[in-house]
């Protein structure tokens, strides 16, 4: 079956369909990873996007449930040069074609992905429609023109219920803006007691969970589309140690008074060089984002730049000057990509332990007694029914 990819500037690509049939509109972007297509497909940060893989052969090792970064894929379309229909890998459970069909995602192969990538690099990421229909180009352009890009991706991909991954060490509240499973894996393998909460959880609800630290996850879209998260973070800065990744990094910047802007075509791949300004060391990192913190907006805030991108000099890391808060624009949990930066999870836990040492917690009994004296027994009891917990 024939498939077509039409960009908003009128550029048309015709190829062979795989995956689901129908029409799908999204922002057309590219990823430079040589491997890791399954992790790309299942990364919630790609919600609302039609992803082009620049590596020419995709699908050769199939799909394995163990390698998913979320419960399902969230991309709006998948573009490859060559689609391998019969994978060769003992771990393979099924094919990309069957995965995309299961979740209603169209794919196209047999097009010049190099030309498409160069066009995006020159003109920037743009809206596109991937279709298997026989509609005229003029009709598709009109359909593309009136179809808005998504602005509610975070609410679509975030968990709707609170759930936990019990551990014996530090309690971490992980705010899920579209979190990859790798973040939870890195925390749990370090023994953390992790409580995952929805993206619209309030600062007061997080306080009631009594965390030792707060992790702000990655996620899709424009950070300015989740102002409630900015408000929540601004209330918690200075009260708990906080570590932000990708979207979490951008939200920390906004909550601290800095600003963000859209990149021309974003950073998506597993080989982006990032320089640590303190040590001078360069790390190879995994990245997936379309927005960045504006450099000139940092002055006048309590933030300092800790890492920069060695390709385009954009900001890749921030640290708060007064409070135990830091963030990175890239993915220390990798998947796909190198694990060079996994040490950041250890730095986060060290920061938590240092904070607890300098700010020993008030015993719970004393907190209850103080609340009772301030407002009576009724105010000392916790409110019920505000957080929705996942059913067993």
Contact (Cβ atoms closer than 8 angstroms) between residue 107 and residue 97: yes
Identify whether 331 is a catalytic site residue: yes
Identify whether 246 is a catalytic site residue: yes
Strands (E) across the chain are located at 2-7, 12-19, 23-31, 49-53, 57-58, 77-79, 82-83, 106-109, 126-131, 163-165, 171-175, 193-197, 213-216, 242-245, 260-276, 282-293, 303-309, 315-320, 325-328
Tell me the C-alpha to C-alpha distance, in Å, between residue 4 and each of 40, 110, 163, 197: 22, 11, 41, 39
Tell me the C-alpha to C-alpha distance, in Å, between residue 160 and each of 73, 198, 225, 361: 17, 6, 18, 30
Q: How many CA atoms lie within 13 A of 380 on its CB side?
A: 14
Residue ranges of the annotated binding site for L-glutamine are 45, 219, 221, 247, 250, 288, 290-291
CB atoms within 10 A of CB 382: 6
Contact (Cβ atoms closer than 8 angstroms) between residue 274 and residue 282: yes
Q: DSSP string spanning 237-284?
A: BTTB-EEEETHHHHHHHHHTT--EEEEEEEEEEEEEEEEETTT--EEE
The catalytically annotated residue of 267, 289, 320, 331 is: 331
282 DSSP β-pair partners = 275
Query: Which has the closest alpha carbon to 186: 174, 177, 199, 204?
Result: 174
Contact (Cβ atoms closer than 8 angstroms) between residue 73 and residue 41: yes
The catalytically annotated residue of 246, 272, 289, 320 is: 246
State the first-to-last Cα distance of the chain, in angstroms, to the nearest integer. Answer: 43
Q: Which residues are catalytic?
A: 246, 331, 333
């Amino acid at each position: 079956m024939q498939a077509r990819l039409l960009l908003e500037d009128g550029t048309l690509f015709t190829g062979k369909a795989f995956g689901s049939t129908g029409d799908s509109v999204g922002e057309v972007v590219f990823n430079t990873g040589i491997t890791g297509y399954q992790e790309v497909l299942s990364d919630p940060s790609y919600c609302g996007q039609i992803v082009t893989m620049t590596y020419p052969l995709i699908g050769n090792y199939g799909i394995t449930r163990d390698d998913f970064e979320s419960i399902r894929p969230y991309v709006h379309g998948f573009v490859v040069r060559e689609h391998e229909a019969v994978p060769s890998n003992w771990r393979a459970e099924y094919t990309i074609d069957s995965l995309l069909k299961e979740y209603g995602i169209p794919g196209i192969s047999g097009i010049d992905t190099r030309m498409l990538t160069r066009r995006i690099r020159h003109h920037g990421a743009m809206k596109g429609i991937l279709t298997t229909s026989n509609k005229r180009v003029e009709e598709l352009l009109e359909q593309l023109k009136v179809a808005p890009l998504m602005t509610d991706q975070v609410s679509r991909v975030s968990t709707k219920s609170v759930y936990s991954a019990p551990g014996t060490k530090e309690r971490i509240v992980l705010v899920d803006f579209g979190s990859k499973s790798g973040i939870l894996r890195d925390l749990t393998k370090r023994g953390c007691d992790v409580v995952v909460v929805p993206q619209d959880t309030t600062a007061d609800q997080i306080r009631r969970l009594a965390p030792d630290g707060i992790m702000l996850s990655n996620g899709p879209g424009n950070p300015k589309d989740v102002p409630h998260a900015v408000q929540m973070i601004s209330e918690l800065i200075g009260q708990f140690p906080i570590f932000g990744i990708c979207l979490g990094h951008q939200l920390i910047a906004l909550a601290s008074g800095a600003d963000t802007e859209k990149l021309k075509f974003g950073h998506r791949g597993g080989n982006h060089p990032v320089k640590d300004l303190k040590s001078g060391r360069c790390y190879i990192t995994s990245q997936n984002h379309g927005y960045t913190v504006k450099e000139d907006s940092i002055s006048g805030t309590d933030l300092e730049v800790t890492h920069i991108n060695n390709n385009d000099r954009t900001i890749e890391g921030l640290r708060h000057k007064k409070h135990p808060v830091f963030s990175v624009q890239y993915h220390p949990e990798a998947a796909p990509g190198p694990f060079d930066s996994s040490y950041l999870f250890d730095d986060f836990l060290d920061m938590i332990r240092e904070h607890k040492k300098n700010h020993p917690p008030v015993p719970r009994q004393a907190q209850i007694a103080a609340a009772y004296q301030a407002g009576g027994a009724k105010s000392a009891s916790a409110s019920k029914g505000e957080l929705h917990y996942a059913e067993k």
